[in-house]
């Protein structure tokens, strides 16, 4: 039997969730929100991917504070208005695909906030251009040509930590199954982990123990308030010599497990323009393998995984427990169906689509799909 189509249970303090397969839709920024609020684009996007055959769909990086958005068009969950719009839009999408579990990635962009849309250059926006004050562990800009962020003081550290907690509670109230804290891709929590962005001289900077302190405090605070499935996404390597690397990531994962983490999602890069990424099929899978072996945490692998047999081999090799994809699902929103056809698995989908499969793939929806077809 295909491991990709074998169930897996993500445990949590209140019992967890059982996924019918190991396919995850990774979070993908859509840059389509208005003042942090979800729009009809999100309704279309979410409903589409909830019918993808994946067992778990992850909502894009969702800012816990307005200044934590990457761009002015990023999704948020920081007040009653953003909560109400997200809850209503998600409820409408889930009515069309109730079989799929939902995770939300909670984020703060740190010094990479206040940026233009990707197709508008993705550069830091000035206040005259609609930007805002940014915050980071240190007054060290992402690019030397950019204005430096404001170094966070004790009050700001507490405010952001509490915002993560409140956003997780809001997500829980709307029935979201899992929360993923974003500590990757050069955003705020990753900035604390990396010596490239973290130049502090207090208890939150310098040594490994100090650099992991604030991300662990945020995670612990969310864990205390949220009893559902909770994990964290990391950049396992900065791809810069002498910076954050996979050995530190693996040790960090052990600390997360001790605090009650239910999973870890291993990505890489994003904190420095000096990064030298060795791109290739499954290029981040070795990071997932080392983190998994060291921490014994349920591990999600991601990064140029596009083929069903490739995904199956990663699981068979013991490199990861779950397979996440992003761009592959944008290009082929029914990737899960195709993988089931290739590997002899089954997926759940809205019966409206049951008759769409070619004859050779008719087993993808199981026996139920043939009932009542005329």
Contact between 353 and 329 under an 8 Å Cβ cutoff? The reply is no
CB neighbour class for 284 (10 Å; exposed up to 12, middle 13-18, buried from 19): buried
Residue among 187, 204, 331, 353 flagged as catalytic:
187
What one-character DSSP code corresponds to residue 180? E
Report residue 286 as tokens.
């070795």
Question: CA-to-CA distance for 343 and 308, rounded, in angstroms?
Answer: 7
DSSP codes of every residue in 202-241? STTSSSHHHHTHHHHHHHHHHHHH--SEEEEEEES--SST
Contact between 64 and 107 under an 8 Å Cβ cutoff? The reply is yes
| Overall residue count recorded for the chain in this entry | 374
- In the block, tokens 């007040």 appear at 79
Chain centre distance of CA 196: 22
- Which sign does the torsion angle of CA 213, 216, 222, 225 carry? negative
**Looking only at Cα atoms, what is the longest distance across the chain?**
72
Residue 204 among the catalytic residues = no
Cα–Cα nearest to 346, from 360, 336, 335: 336
Contacts of 101 (CB under 8 A, 6+ apart): 17, 19, 55, 56, 57, 177, 178
CA angle 60, 61, 66 (to 5 degrees): 130
Q: Show which residues are catalytic.
A: 187
């Amino acid at each position: 039997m295909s491991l990709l189509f074998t169930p897996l249970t993500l445990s949590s303090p209140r019992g967890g969730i059982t996924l019918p397969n190991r396919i995850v839709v990774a979070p993908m920024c859509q840059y389509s929100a208005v003042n942090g609020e979800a729009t009809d684009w999100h309704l279309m996007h979410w409903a589409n991917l909830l019918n993808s055959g994946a067992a778990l769909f992850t909502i894009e990086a969702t800012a816990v504070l307005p200044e934590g958005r990457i761009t002015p068009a990023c999704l948020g969950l920081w007040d009653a208005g953003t909560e109400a719009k997200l809850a209503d839009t998600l409820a409408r999408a889930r009515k069309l695909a109730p079989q799929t579990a939902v995770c939300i990635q909670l984020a703060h962009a740190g010094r990479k906030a206040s940026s233009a849309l990707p197709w508008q250059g993705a550069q830091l926006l000035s206040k005259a251009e609609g930007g805002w004050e940014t915050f980071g562990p240190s007054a060290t800009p992402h690019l030397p040509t950019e204005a430096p962020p404001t170094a966070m003081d004790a009050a700001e550290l507490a405010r952001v930590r509490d915002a993560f907690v409140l956003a997780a509670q809001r997500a829980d109230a709307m029935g979201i199954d899992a929360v993923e804290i974003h500590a990757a891709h050069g955003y705020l929590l990753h900035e604390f982990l990396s010596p490239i962005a973290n130049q502090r001289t207090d208890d939150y900077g310098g040594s490994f123990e100090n650099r992991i302190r604030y991300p662990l405090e945020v995670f612990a605070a969310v864990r205390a308030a949220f009893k559902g499935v909770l994990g964290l996404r990391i950049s396992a390597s900065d791809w810069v010599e002498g910076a954050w690397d996979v050995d530190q990531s693996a040790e960090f994962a052990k600390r997360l497990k001790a605090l009650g983490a239910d999973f870890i999602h291993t990505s890489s890069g994003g904190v420095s323009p000096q990064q030298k990424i060795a791109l290739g099929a499954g290029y981040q899978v070795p990071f997932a393998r080392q983190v998994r072996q060291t921490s014994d945490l349920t591990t999600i692998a991601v990064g140029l995984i596009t083929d069903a047999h490739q995904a199956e081999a990663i699981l068979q090799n013991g490199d990861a427990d779950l397979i996440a994809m992003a761009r592959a699902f944008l290009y082929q929103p029914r990737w899960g169906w195709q993988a089931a056809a290739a590997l002899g698995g089954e997926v759940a989908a809205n019966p409206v689509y049951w008759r769409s499969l070619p004859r050779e793939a008719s087993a993808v929806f199981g026996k139920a799909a043939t009932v009542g077809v005329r």
